[in-house]
Amino acid sequence: MAKKTVEQQETVQEVKQTAWDIVQIARHAERPNIADYITFMCDDFVELHGDRLFGDDRSLIGGFATIGGEKVMLIGHRKGRGIEENIEANFGMASPEGYRKAKRLMKLAEKYHLPVVSLVDTPGAYPGCEAEARGQAEAIAHNLEFMATLKTQMVIVVTGEGGSGGALGIAVGDRILMLQNAVYSVISPEGCASILWRDGTKAALAAETLKITAGSLKSLGIIDDIIPEPKGGAHTDAAKAVAAVKKAVLDNLAVLKKINLDTLLQQRYDKFAAMGRF
Amino acid sequence: MAWFEKAAEAPLRVPTEAVWTICPSCKAYVEKAEWKATDKVCPRCNYHDRMGCRERVALITDTGSFKELNAQVGPNDPLKFKDSTGAYADKAKATVEKTGIGEAVLTGTATIEKIPVVLAVMDFKFLGGSLGSGTGERILLAAEEALKLRRALIIVSASGGARMHEGIVSLMQMAKTCAATARLKEAGLPYISILTDPTTGGVSASYAMVGDLNIAEPKALIGFAGRRVIEQTIKQKLPDDFQTAEYTQSHGFIDAIVPRKEMKAFLAKILRYASGAC
Ligand SMILES: [Zn+2]
């Protein structure tokens, strides 16, 4: 029943909404961020800091959380609200220590038999000199291997911007869900436009061509489900938007917990192995 | 992340090019015969020029031992991608015809000093060695073959990163290939990664960086984000040696930098140390 509603909403909205319009909603300054998810979705949250190697990335956070009575490990990119908070959060662009912290927390989740819930919202991994020096590529790459074989249930939700490798670095799991107005892409529309069209102003066209919206990704078989947003976007009613995410997370966890762990891991492997097999 | 970023640096065209090769790195004129004799290594600056996948196979395997696998797997066009220069499907088809290698990676079985291995060798000539769905599929199948035969897997990377024209499906190849290398590791089998010029973006942030050993060729460009993107982000010029194999090794991500002439013997030596795992 809920699924039908989403599809109906989409049909209505697709007429007037372009991919580029959706990009604007996905990037909206007031879009619910991880702090809102913790406030509206979690009965309890214990933040755990640091990668035990270098530092504590404020762009990617995580910790124990209780969601509707379910104990989980919650990780996610962190965008701030306002300039000061955004500078501290580096606008959601994580560094190697963020990905390594996420890996440490996921490992802990496995040890304590807790499912992982990962909230994805980043323009991309931070493209900085220090990030390169400390192994941005290596940090993301090892997370991809690690998540593929992690022995616990993993639900991924792309809540805002799914920016390329920086998003994928915490986005391998058993279920990949996406908010109605989230986007997920191999490159930003602006980046793609400036490289392939040699014209940064062609971003709207690139956004359309790259097929980065939830509806397109569902058709491509990349994501499992679309979570509906309040009319106008999640920022118009954060509590309502987060409640829909909470429900989707709990529904999916309930299904995943019934699956034997070996079967679950085989299904996870098969899921990604099938991507791009036509 | 993209292979196109390098496209602007077209090789110099001078009338003498029938006799001379110009080193892409130091611009020295080297006689073609000498260039060939050194396996495309500049005698003046030791730059290891890009090599075709078949040349590379000949260089590191026993003569006549290579047997190609999965040659039928080629590019897909899940997005029906078209930009200002035309349709991706046409470009991919033309590239297949021009290069005769079917995808950006050549995979098969071979022996190295009589030790059986499964080998995957990327080729920059094929759309900048970009990671498309066919590339990812060939690599996954190569890893599965290594698992089946209980052999070491060797991947030689040469890639600008993801293949934008395949959008999100390209991004997912990072997760897919790492799921495959993770399985090899779980089975205790050796995986050796060789990073050649260039290994960047989505390839460095997936299978190329997760070898049991990461081996690089001298002076190879290795990194996550493109130099220009980083310079624009941090608003500073980067040092000349930034993202070279030597820089990457000094930061702890490369086990050994091995000159081309010594690569086969070095691999054989490593494989003998790893023989207990097969
Ligand atoms: Zn030179």
- pLDDT by residue (tens digit) across B185-211? 999 999 999 999 999 999 999 999 999
CB contact under 8 Å between A129 and B230, yes or no, is yes
What are the chain B neighbours of A138 within 8 Å (beta carbons)?
Answer: 209-210, 253
Question: Is the per-residue pLDDT at B165 higher than 50?
Answer: yes
Cα B7 to ligand 1 centroid, rounded to whole Å: 20
Chain-chain contact of A268 with B179 (C-beta, under 8 angstroms):
yes
Residues B177 and B62 in one domain: yes
Sorting pLDDT into bands at 50, 70 and 90, what band is A242?
very high
Stronger pLDDT, B1 or B73, i.e. the higher one: B73
Domain assignment of residue B238, given as a range: 50-275
* Domain count for chain B: 2
Q: Report, as an integer, the average pLDDT of A69-98.
A: 97
Q: What would the pLDDT profile of A116-131 be if each residue is shown by its tens digit?
A: 999 999 999 999 999 9
Structural domain contains residue B148: yes
| Beta carbons of A128 and B166 less than 8 Å apart | no
Does a structural domain hold residue B4?
A: no
Closest alpha carbon within chain A to B75: A276
User: How much is the pTM?
Assistant: 0.94
Mean pLDDT rounded to a whole number for chain A: 95
Is the Cβ–Cβ distance between A234 and A32 less than 8 Å?
Answer: yes
Residue B2 lies in a domain: no
Q: Is B208 in the A-facing interface, judged by CB distances under 8 Å? A: yes
Residue B5: pLDDT over 70: no
Statement to judge: residues B123 and B83 lie in one domain = yes
Q: Are residues B61 and B171 in the same domain?
A: yes
**Do B263 and B153 belong together in one domain?**
yes
- The structural architecture, per CATH, of the domain A25-271 is Alpha-Beta Complex (3.90)
Q: B232 with B161, same domain? A: yes
pLDDT in tens, B13-35: 555 667 899 999 899 999 999 99
Count interface pairs A-B at CB distance under 8 A: 195
CA-based R_g, chain A, Å: 18
B23 plus B100 within the same structural domain? no
Same domain flag for B95 and B152: yes
- What is the Cα–Cα distance from B119 to B60, expressed in whole angstroms? 10
Give the distance from residue B269's alpha carbon to the nearest chain A alpha carbon, in angstroms.
25
CATH number of the structural domain spanning residue B123? 3.90.226.10
Specify the 3-state DSSP secondary structure of A262: helix
Per-residue pLDDT at B4: 52
Q: Which residue of A has its CA nearest to B166?
A: A210
Cβ separation B176–A135 shorter than 8 A: no
pLDDT at A8 over 70: no
Q: Give SS3 for A260.
A: coil
A47: contact with B, CB 8 A cutoff: no
> What are the tens digits of pLDDT across the range B116-141?
999 999 999 999 999 999 999 999 99
- The pLDDT, as a whole number, for residue B1 is 46
Amino acid B189: pLDDT: 98
pLDDT digits (tens, 9 = 90+) for B81-100: 999 999 999 999 999 999 99
Please judge whether A137 and B251 are an interchain contact, meaning their C-beta atoms are less than 8 angstroms apart.
no
B16 or A50, greater pLDDT: A50
> Are B224 and A136 inside 8 Å of each other by CB?
yes
Distance CA B210, CA A148 (A): 13
Going from the C-alpha of A244 to that of each of A2, A180, B275, the distances in angstroms are: 10, 11, 53
Question: Across chain B, what does the average pLDDT equal?
Answer: 94
Looking at residue A1, its pLDDT comes to 40
Rounded Cα–Cα distance for residues B278 and A182 (Å): 45
In a domain, B5, yes or no: no
> Is residue A278 very low, low, confident or very high in pLDDT (cuts 50, 70, 90)?
confident
B62 and B40 share one domain = no
* pLDDT one-digit tens code per residue, B229-254: 999 888 988 988 999 999 999 999 99
Distance (Å, whole) CA B207 – CA B88: 25
H-assigned helices in A120-273: 129-133, 136-148, 164-168, 189-192, 203-210, 214-219, 238-257, 261-273
Global ipTM: 0.94
One domain for residues B37 and B71: no
